[in-house]
Structure formats: structure tokens, C-alpha cells
Structure 1
Amino acid sequence: MLLEALSSPYVYSNVLFIIAGISFPIHLFGEYCILFKTPKVMKSVKWSLFDVHLWSSLMDLFLSFFVQPLAFFPVMAEFPMGVLNRIGMKTDVLMCSGVLIALLVLVSIIKMFKNRYYILFSMHTCWRYIRYSFLTMNYVLTILFVITVYVEIPEDQEFARSVLFKNNPELLQYDIPESPILVIAWSNFRMIYRQLLFTALFLSELIVFTVLIRLNMQKAISEIRSSASCKTFKIHRNFMKSLNMQIAVPIVVICIPSFFGLAVPFLQGNTQGAINFIYIIVSTHGALSTLIMVYLQKSYREAVVQIVGCNRKMEENIRTVMPKAF
């Protein structure tokens, strides 16, 4: 019943608009916490954390508000239903922009772990110079990936759409005049192959930095005798634990549904509703990551307590004044 309802483009769009309305204030509060409530001892990771939060929030809003892609698998085709499409932006530009933002979320996560490893353990090693080439390589690969996606979009969309509808007549019901379906590529194998390679590269880099940080952290803590230094490293260690949990959210919410989405067309039942449901789940990853970040970081939790405390005090003052006024 749920998947059948979500297969409707208009129900799908309305659900995403609701998610956008809920997520947007959460994103803003997360930015406020990072900019103004990050502890001084973690000042070095502040901007890399903000970078991850910014791209994650932007990806959420792209999926749930600005673009709202309605994708069809296993054929490589989609059409947007978001605000930017309604004001006349080209579908291919929106699609490539969404791909770029999704990849930059992954790159920003790697950048944050790279920055943490550099500050803690490799400021006086050769990694001090290699890290720039490493970061540049990731950005270059990201740009090349988006360029290859854009180049493969058929120029003659009318012919591509006629072939698509001839082979998949069930898609005609989704071809609405205000947002015609865009054929992304003739073959989906090369795009899926590139996506798997980039995901494998991202996961391998993430695993390498996580293992290096953990091994060096354990070694450093065991060697340090100063109580002050141990306290500092304890703060960093607790931060890494919370950071790992925060990063696990986009990995679980993005990677697992993405891999499952590749298998959906081979399952029985309402596949379009299942695909739309996967996009809805992915569109919540930034908000979930922000809530976990606020919950795990003591200084961020205190900011919530202060805000809630102020509201409670205002309510108590109003209740105190109201009887006197009457």
C-alpha cells in the first residue's frame, strides 16, 4: 500500500516537500552549533566538519526541495519535480549538479578524516606535502565523473525518448508535459561500473584513514604520561567515537540504499514505489547526521538545553505575570 502510493509522482513530491520543511531548521541549527559551539580544543576540525555538514545539507535540499528526481531503473532516465525545474532550469544541468553534490559529500568526509590525521599525527612528516596532491586527485576524479555523465546524455532527446517508450511503454504514464523524462544514457553498465569504482575508492580511503587514526591514537595515549596531555587525547578520542557514528549515518543511509536500488528492478512488485522510497530515505541523511552530531557532542547538547531552558523560563514568566494582569 505504501509503495503503491509512493509510485505516484505527486505523492512522492509532496512527501519530499514535507521532509524539506522538517530538515531545513535542523540543518540551520547544526550550522549554528558547528560555528559557535564547537569547543576550542576541537577548533582544528571545525571547518572540515562544517564542510561535511554544508554539502550534506545541500544534498538533502537538492533531493527534497530543489530537484526531487524521479528516477527509473534499470533504464537510465529521470525527470525532476522540484522548485528549480518549475522555474525553468534544464533537466540535464539539474541532474549533473545533483551528482556533483553527492560526490562532494563523499569527498568532504574523506577530507575531514584526512585533516584529523594530519593534525594529530603527521604535521611533521612527508604527508604534510602529499596531502594537497591527494585532495586534488579526489576533486579531479569527481569532476571527471560528472563530465563523463554529462557527455553520455544523448543530444537527440526526442529520438532517445521514442526508443525508451518503445522498449518501456509503462513509463509513458510518468511523462508529464511540464517535466519530460530525460534519457541519461543509452547503456547503464558503464555508469554503474564507474559508480561502483568511485564508491570502492571512497570506502577504501575512509577505511585507511580510520585505521591509521585509531592505531596512532592508541599508541600515543599509551606513551603519554602527562595527565594534561592524556586529558587532551581523551577529548580527541571521544570526539573520534562520536565522529565515526556521525559519519556512519550517510554511509548507511546513502550507500546501502544505493546498492539496494541497483537490485530493485530485478525484484517483484511495485519497483517504482521502492525506488522512490529509497530516494526519500537518502534525502533524510543530512538531518539524521545532524541530530546524531548534536546528541553526541556535549557542547552542542548544552546549546539545546540552553534554548529549551530559555523557552521554559519565558513560559514560567508568562504564567507568573498573567494572573497578576487579570
Structure 2
Amino acid sequence: MHFSFLDPLNITFNQRPEFYLQMTKSVASLGVAVNLFGLYIILYKSPTHFKTYKWHLANHQIWSLLLDLFAGLMITPVFFFPMPVGYPTGLLSHALPPEILMLIATSLLFLTLSSIFHLLFYRWQMVVPQGHPMKFSRTFKGFFLIGVYAFFLVPHLVLFPQTIQNQTEAKAALIEHYPIYESVVNISAILVFYLPTNPLFYTYMLVCGVMCTTFIIVVTAFLFHTAAILRRKDKYANFKTQLAHRKYIMILSTQMSIPMIALLEPGALLGLIMVFRIWNVQELAHLAFFTFASHGLVGTVTMLILNEHFKAYLAKRFCNARDPDEPQPISLNAISKDVENNGQERPSLASLRARAAGGNHFAVSGGSPTIRVLEFDAPGGGGGNGGGEVMPGMSNRLRTG
């Protein structure tokens, strides 16, 4: 296609947009710190029923952290669209060849997408009931997830290095077809990713489009099937459980859609700029990459806000709020009064201690009894992963008394 909005002869490139570079590096630095904090919360502050889920969540958090680190700090590229021409300015821009840096960053992108798919697949399997034809064995799930990572990574590793070969010839052809690039083609570490005479990059873009489209379709199917399963359970559930199901679907959709949009929307925008050869959009391209480089920060903050247990920990740690899962002390007089109102004999402290040891409703801590919490399976909790784990993000405790 040779469609363009403006005459390229009247366009000039900003070879070092300082505001964009400083903002990207600042947000990426903040994102790395927040990602590390989120990883700490996942590994050390997750509730006991997250014993399996936290490792799947940590896997995604690690890839997201590495992507933010490399894209925003180690590479920090400057682009000159509509031809995908650019060069790195980050911390590793003089330590490694630009081809290696771009290969690492794009590989981390596909690994992060794979981890999002992995995470949603696990949560979908938690909800699928036993005996359902879509309830897979542990072995099948392991091989399936290996296949998912290979599906995203192998085509990229095969095709991408071929698109940046023969850089000397590519630069000469670029200046011949578009003399406007003469001012930037001699920048140290400049990379030319494709030219109209090189169809291999079109092939690479097509393959990436197929992979991303497949990703969106399957992830959407997981979400809809999860909602359908919970709606069927709602027929036999009380109103409180129905509200919990709806909240779970809302949280799951939000947690999955925000990182997906932050990763895929900028890529789709840059793809349109390249295909239609839209000139004078350097600032728009940098804004798209800024959004892309901040996905880990946005995703981690979303996770901490939407997950009940993580949010309760943050409120307790930074706002001195009371943990909703922490047993609340009550006085013996309150227990005695309640028992007397029911026409029963007042229990002794020794009997309360004995009942606590036997696993009854009251547990005694120190010299006074406290309300004991009872475990129950939240929706999907008994689904076979981790043995009785409940759906992540939802409380699995019910207070008595």
C-alpha cells in the first residue's frame, strides 16, 4: 500500500525526544519497583488457599517485570515511523547489539502474553466442575501449557531475526526510496526492520496477527465459559453466592483485559501506521510505546486493588485497617448473655478451651475466647487444582456468631 496522510518531504524527525525518554524511563523505574513489590506480596502474603495459584500468578508477574525492565529501561527505543526504523537509548544500548536487544524485548512480549493465557487457563480450569469433558488432567494441562508457550515463541524466534538481516543494504534502500530518512540512518545502532522490497516483514506481521487474534478469541472463550458455568450454579445458589459469582467474573475480566489492552493496543496502532504509511506520527508512536512499557505497573496496581486478600494486607500494612480474616475478640460476658438468652447453661472457660481444641466454633487465644472462622469452598473451590482451593480473589471464610 502507498496510502499516506501527509507529504513525507515536509516531515522532520526528532532524533532524541527528551520528554518521551525521561517519562518512559521514570514510569518504567516505578513499574519495576511496583512489580517487585507485587511479586513479594504474591509469594509471601498470599493466603493459604492460594498455595497453587500463587505460583501461576508469580510466573506472570516475573515475565511482566522483565518486559517492563527491558522495554522501558534497558532499551527505551526511539522510533521514526511509518517505516519501522528506530534505535535504543536505554542502559544496555551500548553494551549489546541493537538486534539482540530487540530480540530479547520482543521475546519477552510473547512470553508475557503466554503467561496471561496460562493464568486465565488455570482459573478457568478451577471453575470447570469434575466430570465435565473440559476438565483436564494435571498431565494434559502441563503439556498443553508447554504447547502454548511454544506456539507464541517459536514462530517469533524463527522469523524475527531474518527481518533484520543485511542492515547495510536495508539502510541504502531506505534512503533511496525515502530520502527523508537520510538524517537518521547514520545514527549509531539504528535498525531498519522492513522495506517495501522486503516481504519477509509482512510475513512476520501476518504471523503475529494470527497469534494475537487466536489469543484474543481463546481468552474470550475462557471468560464466557467461566461465566456460563457460574450462571448454571446460580440456579441452586442463594443471592449472596450469586453476587459473589458476578463479582468474580467482573474482577477476572478486569484483571485480564487491562494487561491485554496495554500490550496489544499499541502494537495494533503501530501496525496500522506501518501498513497505511501514515506520516508525522512520531509522537503518537512514542505514546503507544509508553503505554506498552507501563503495562506491568498498571497490571500490578490492578491486581493489588481487585484482590480481596492483597487489598486487605495493604490496608492493614499502610492504613492500620483491620484484617477482615482476623478473628475478632469478644468478651465472656457477651457469650454468657447470649447463652442465657437461649436458655442454656453458661459455659466455663475450661469447656470453651476444650471445644476449641476439638475444632468447634470457638477458639480461645490468651485468656478470652475469640470468634473462630469456618472454611468453606467459594465458587469453583474443590475443582481439583490444589485440593479444595477457592477461586483467587474471593474470600473463603465465613464468620460465626
**TM-score tier (shorter):** 0.7 to 0.9
Q: Distance in 1 between matches of 2:249 and 2:283?
A: 38
Equivalent residue number for residue 295 of structure 1:
305
Classify 1:15/1:5 alpha carbon distance in 2 versus 1 (closer, same or farther; 3 Å).
farther
Comparing 270-279 with 259-268, greater Cα deviation is found at 259-268
1:231-286: CA deviation from partner (whole Å, max 9, x where unpaired)? 6x976764443232122112222222222222335476631121111101111111
Is the 8 Å Cα contact of residues 164 and 191 (structure 2) preserved in structure 1? no
Classify 1:154/1:22 alpha carbon distance in 2 versus 1 (closer, same or farther; 3 Å).
closer
Matched, 1:64 2:72: yes
Equivalent residue number for residue 146 of structure 1:
156
1:126-150: CA deviation from partner (whole Å, max 9, x where unpaired)? 6225433432322222232222333
Q: Distance in 1 between matches of 2:280 and 2:116?
A: 34
Is the 8 Å Cα contact of residues 5 and 273 (structure 1) preserved in structure 2? no
Matched, 1:205 2:218: yes
After superposition, where does 1:190-229 map in structure 2 within 5 Å? 190-223=203-236
Amino acid at match of 2:32: F
After superposition, where does 1:1-326 map in structure 2 within 5 Å? 7-11=14-18, 12-87=20-95, 89-121=96-128, 127-128=136-137, 129-175=139-185, 177-183=187-193, 186-187=198-199, 188-223=201-236, 238-264=247-273, 266=276, 270-309=280-319
Name structure 1 gaps, 5 residues minimum. 311-326
Q: Distance in 2 between matches of 1:234 and 1:116?
A: 19
Amino acid at match of 2:217: S
- Secondary structure of residue in 2 paired with 1:82: coil
- Secondary structure of residue in 1 paired with 2:165: coil
Q: Distance in 1 between matches of 2:130 and 2:87?
A: 47
- Secondary structure of residue in 2 paired with 1:85: coil
Q: Distance in 2 between matches of 1:54 and 1:288?
A: 15
The share of aligned pairs that are identical, in percent, is 19
Q: Distance in 2 between matches of 1:140 and 1:40?
A: 32
Number of aligned residue pairs: give it: 302
Q: Distance in 2 between matches of 1:93 and 1:60?
A: 17
Q: Distance in 2 between matches of 1:154 and 1:210?
A: 38
The CA deviation at 1:66 is 1.1
The CA deviation at 1:96 is 1.4
Q: Distance in 2 between matches of 1:298 and 1:272?
A: 41
Report which of the two has the higher share of helix: 1
- Secondary structure of residue in 1 paired with 2:93: helix
Is the 8 Å Cα contact of residues 9 and 174 (structure 1) preserved in structure 2? no
Task: Identify which of structures 1 and 2 has the higher relative contact order when contacts are C-alpha pairs closer than 8 Å and 6+ apart.
Answer: 1
Classify 1:38/1:60 alpha carbon distance in 2 versus 1 (closer, same or farther; 3 Å).
same
Comparing 274-283 with 178-187, greater Cα deviation is found at 178-187
Is the 8 Å Cα contact of residues 120 and 256 (structure 2) preserved in structure 1? no
Q: Distance in 1 between matches of 2:192 and 2:12?
A: 23
Classify 1:170/1:6 alpha carbon distance in 2 versus 1 (closer, same or farther; 3 Å).
closer
The CA deviation at 1:292 is 1.4
Larger Rg: 2
Comparing 119-128 with 132-141, greater Cα deviation is found at 119-128
Classify 1:175/1:13 alpha carbon distance in 2 versus 1 (closer, same or farther; 3 Å).
farther
Classify 1:262/1:156 alpha carbon distance in 2 versus 1 (closer, same or farther; 3 Å).
closer
Is the 8 Å Cα contact of residues 255 and 302 (structure 2) preserved in structure 1? yes
The CA deviation at 1:111 is 0.8
TM-score, with structure 1 as normaliser: 0.81
Comparing 272-281 with 178-187, greater Cα deviation is found at 178-187
The CA deviation at 1:288 is 0.9
Q: Distance in 2 between matches of 1:191 and 1:285?
A: 24
- Secondary structure of residue in 2 paired with 1:75: coil
Q: Distance in 2 between matches of 1:138 and 1:179?
A: 33
